Each structure stands twice: as C-alpha cells, then as structure tokens.
C-alpha cells in the first residue's frame, strides 16, 4: 500500500495526485495544495467505492478542479453536495487503475452520461464538465506534464485511408495506380473501403511487398505494415444499427517497441437523406468498439459519408464523435482539410500532426486517398 499526505492509497493514486496537484497549482486553482478527505478506505457514505483503490475524495470542488481531473484521466469526477446527502467534496475515480474495481461502475456511468449515484451509478444525469477526455490516469499525467513544460516522448504512426470503389469500371488498371501510391507512402496502416471479395485478393498481392491483410468485413479491409506491426488479438467485426452497415477492427502491437493500438474501420450509409442512419451507426460503432477495446486507444478510419466541412451539408458524424471525446483529424491540424468523406478520429491522447490528400485519380472524384500522421505519448 502506498500513501499520499499520510493517507493510504494505491500506487496509481500515489503517482497521479502529485501531478494533479501540480496542474491545479499551475492554473492557480489552489495556492498551496489539494486537501484530501479520503483515498483508500471504507467511509460509510462511500458505499465501498474506496475499498481497493483508484478513488479519491478532496475538498477542491470548483468547476475548473473537476475539469482538470477529468482531463487527467478521472472522467468519473463530480462535485458531491449536501443536497445529495454528502459532506461537500469532490469525488473521483481513475480510469485504467487496476485497483478501482469497487468504483469502476461509476466510470461506466459517466461514459453513459450519468452521475455515478444510485443503482449502477445511473441515479441522475452527469452534471460535470464535458466532453470527457477518455484518458487513462497514466495518459492524464503525460497530458498534464506536457502543459507544465515537461518534455514528453512521443510515439509516431500513420495510416492511409481509401474508398477503392473496386466494383466500378477500370479496377484492373486503377488498382495498380492505387497500390503504387500506397506503397510509396510507407504508412503503418492502410484502411480500404469498398474492396470486395472478388477484387481483394488481387489488390492484396499488389501490396504484399510491404503490407499484410489484418482484418476484413464486407468490403472494409485493414492492412498493416509487414515487420513493423503484428496482430495482438483476433480480428472482430460487427453490423451497425438498423442499416446493418459493417465495421471491422483489430488490436495491433508494434514489433519492436511493444506499443498497442486498436484500428477500427467503418463505411457508413451514403444517401444524403440518411443522416439519421449515420448518427445511429456512429453511436453503435463507439459502443461496440468500447466493448472490444476497453483500453481506449482506438483509432477510427473509413468512409463516413459525412463531410468534415460541409459545403452546405450537415456533418452528422463529427459532433457524435466529439461528444464521445474523439478528435477529428481533418479539423485538428494546422491546416484543416475540407470536405473529406474519408476521415480519421482519435482519442484524447492522440495528436494528429498531418492530414494530406493524395490525388491519384484511381477512385471516384470525392474519394482521393488521405494520409494521416499522428502521435501519442510513449
């Protein structure tokens, strides 16, 4: 058992609390330090949530203090009040802490938009600042240190996203042009949509000098860079919403550094009148991928059929992803890439450094290739 300011706590809290305090001091939220009421313990009013670790009760209840905690990997942090039957305090739970089992339901609750009270933590709507960060407590420390001027070591990777339109005319010649462009980028992952069963084997042969097929489901295919990444779990697929659009995903591990990422590929409904379906499919994709990959380092790529910048169209996908804590790559770099149907999204610990359109002419007019470069803390 570790400790912080004389209070018993798990090793995760012992590392996280000093970093959290430093960020509050930097922002001027506190002048001397945080005031701890309870860390690991069994206070009656806590209903066992502090029994194993990962949970904290402190005196700092300002909106800014709650917001910083959520940004630092404690999304399940709330201001508990006398009207709720508590002594006035802030209660929080670290995401990703292996000791937090008795309080883990509160993380599920806040992810679902609830306040962590009552049965299953669903006694009321979440009243804390949003969007959630979805960071782990470890990524939260790195996030804070980056803002405190402490050097952060980054791990970089990349992806190429393409709607191949493989059933359209001229695929035999178009596929060779497309493969040459992909091989020239030397990215880590290639996500291709509309690459169907008859066309997929031939295209895989064109890429085989560098890329291996890692997952497929109904025209959505993920390739990974040979020698650089290896599968770290089975390929999984699903259908989304009432439209039954398909998605596929897989966990990969870097061959030398051991870093893991979860690549999720989707192709949503295309009809202009199907905005309701794209929203439903996006929510279903988020829920399904969270069940498959609870560690949360998920990268979403594919043809969303919903443009990043509208040209008069409504973006049905972006707001849903943003509310779940995912950043739109097309809008997050220094030079936003407009009107992209083929897009990428990453969680709070992911930083997109470049999005580049690859105009090769090997697909239809609205689907050039898109190259994504990104990084996350080591």
Digit-coded pLDDT (tens) for 30-67: 887 899 999 987 765 566 889 899 999 999 999 999 99
Cα separation, 251 vs 222, in Å, equals: 11
Please report the pLDDT score of residue 310 as a whole number.
Answer: 58
Q: What is the pTM of this model?
A: 0.66
Tens digit of pLDDT for each residue in 227-236? 999 999 999 9
pLDDT digits (tens, 9 = 90+) for 290-302: 899 977 689 999 9
Selected residue with higher pLDDT from 148 and 228: 228
195 contacts 221 by C-beta, under 8 angstroms = yes
DSSP 6: T
Asked if the model's pLDDT at residue 209 lies above 90, the reply is yes
Q: Across residues 88-109, what is the average pLDDT?
A: 95
pLDDT band, residue 131 (cuts 50/70/90): confident
Which residues, in sequence order, are bridge partners of residue 161? 191, 370
Q: What are the sequence ranges of the domains in the chain?
A: 2-147, 155-377
DSSP strand E in the chain: where?
A: 2-4, 7-9, 36-38, 55-58, 76-80, 89-93, 154-163, 189-193, 211-217, 220-225, 229-231, 236-240, 245-254, 260-267, 298-303, 327-328, 342-346, 351-358, 369-377
Q: DSSP label at 46?
A: G
Three-state DSSP state, 320: helix
Instruction: For residues 268 and 253, give the distance between their C-alpha atoms in angstroms, rounded to a whole number.
Output: 27
233 secondary structure, DSSP code: S
Task: Give the DSSP letter of residue 22.
Answer: H
Check: CB of residue 276 under 8 Å from CB of residue 241: no
User: Residue 151's CB: how many other CB atoms inside 10 A?
Assistant: 7
Euclidean distance between CA atoms 368 and 78, whole angstroms: 45
Q: What is the 3-state secondary structure (H, E, C) of 327-364?
A: EEHHHHCCCCCCCCCEEEEECCCCEEEEEEEECCCCCC
In angstroms, the Cα distances linking 336 to 115, 331, 339, 352 are 35, 5, 10, 11
Closest CA to 190 of 200, 198, 81, 82: 200
- Averaged pLDDT, 119-137: 92
CATH superfamily of 155-377: Endonuclease/exonuclease/phosphatase (3.60.10.10)
Determine the average pLDDT of the residues in 4-21.
92
**Among 166, 227, 176, CA closest to 200:** 166
List, for residues 277-333, the tens digit of each pLDDT value. 999 999 999 999 989 997 768 999 999 999 876 566 788 998 899 888 788 888 776
Please give the C-alpha separations between residue 258 and each of 230, 255, 310, 344, 378, in angstroms, as whole numbers. Answer: 10, 6, 39, 23, 10
Q: What is the pLDDT of residue 43?
A: 63
- Residue 334: per-residue pLDDT: 59
In degrees and rounded to multiples of 5, residue 147 shows phi and psi of -80, -15
Strand 236-240 relative to strand 220-225, pairing = unpaired
Query: Model confidence over 61-87: pLDDT tens digits?
Result: 999 999 999 999 999 999 999 999 999
Q: Are 165 and 368 spatial neighbours (Cβ–Cβ below 8 Å)? A: no
Report the chain's mean pLDDT, rounded to a whole number: 91
Q: With b meaning 16 or more CB within 10 Å and e meaning fewer, what string describes 28-37?
A: ebbeeebebb
Q: How confident is the model at residue 336 (pLDDT cuts 50, 70, 90)?
A: low
Distance between CA 23 and CA 60 in Å, rounded? 13
Say whether pLDDT at 255 is over 80: yes
Share of the chain above pLDDT 90, in %: 69
**Residue 1 vs residues 9, 91, 102: alpha-carbon distances, Å:** 6, 20, 17
Q: Which span out of 23-27, 28-32, 218-222 was modeled with the highest average pLDDT?
A: 218-222
What is the Cα–Cα distance from 206 to 93, expressed in whole angstroms? Answer: 49
The secondary structure of 72-132 as a DSSP string is: TT--EEEEE-GGGTS-SEEEEE-TT-TT-GGGHHHHHHHHTTB-SBSGGGBSSB--S-SS-
Residue 336 CA to residue 47 CA, distance in Å, equals 48
């Amino acid at each position: 058992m570790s400790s912080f300011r004389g209070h018993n706590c798990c090793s995760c809290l012992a590392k996280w609390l000093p970093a959290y305090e430093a960020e509050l001091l930097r922002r001027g939220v506190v002048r001397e330090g945080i005031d701890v009421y309870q860390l690991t313990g069994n206070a009656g009013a806590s209903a066992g949530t502090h029994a194993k670790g990962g949970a904290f009760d402190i005196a700092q209840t300002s909106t800014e203090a709650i917001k910083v905690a959520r940004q630092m990997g404690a999304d399940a942090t709330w201001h508990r009040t006398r009207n709720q039957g508590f002594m006035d305090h802030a209660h929080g739970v670290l995401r990703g802490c292996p000791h937090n089992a008795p309080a883990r339901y509160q993380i599920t609750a806040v992810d679902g938009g609830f306040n962590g009270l009552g049965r299953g933590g669903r006694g009321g709507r979440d009243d804390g600042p949003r969007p959630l960060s979805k960071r782990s407590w470890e990524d939260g420390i790195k996030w804070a240190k980056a803002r405190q001027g402490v050097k952060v070591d980054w791990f970089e990777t990349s992806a190429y996203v393409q709607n191949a339109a493989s059933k359209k005319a001229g695929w035999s010649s178009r596929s060779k042009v497309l493969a040459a462009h992909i091989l020239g980028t030397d990215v880590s992952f290639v996500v291709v949509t509309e690459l169907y069963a008859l066309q997929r084997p031939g295209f895989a042969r064109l890429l085989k000098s560098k890329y291996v097929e890692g997952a497929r489901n109904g025209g959505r295919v993920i390739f990974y860079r040979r020698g650089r990444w290896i599968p770290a779990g089975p390929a999984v697929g699903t259908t989304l919403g009432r439209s039954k659009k398909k998605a596929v995903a897989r966990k990969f591990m870097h061959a030398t550094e051991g870093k893991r990422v979860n690549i999720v590929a989707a192709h949503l409904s295309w009809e202009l009148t199907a905005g309701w379906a794209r929203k439903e499919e996006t929510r279903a994709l988020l829920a399904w991928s969270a069940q498959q990959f609870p560690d949360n380092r998920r990268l979403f790529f594919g043809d969303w059929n919903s443009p990043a910048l509208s040209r008069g169209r409504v973006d049905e996908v972006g707001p849903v992803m943003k509310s779940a804590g995912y950043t739109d790559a097309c809008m997050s770099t220094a030079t936003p890439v407009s009107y992209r149907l083929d897009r990428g999204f990453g969680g709070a610990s992911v930083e997109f450094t470049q999005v580049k359109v690859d105009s090769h002419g090997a697909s239809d007019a609205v689907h050039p290739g898109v190259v994504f470069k990104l990084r996350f803390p080591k």
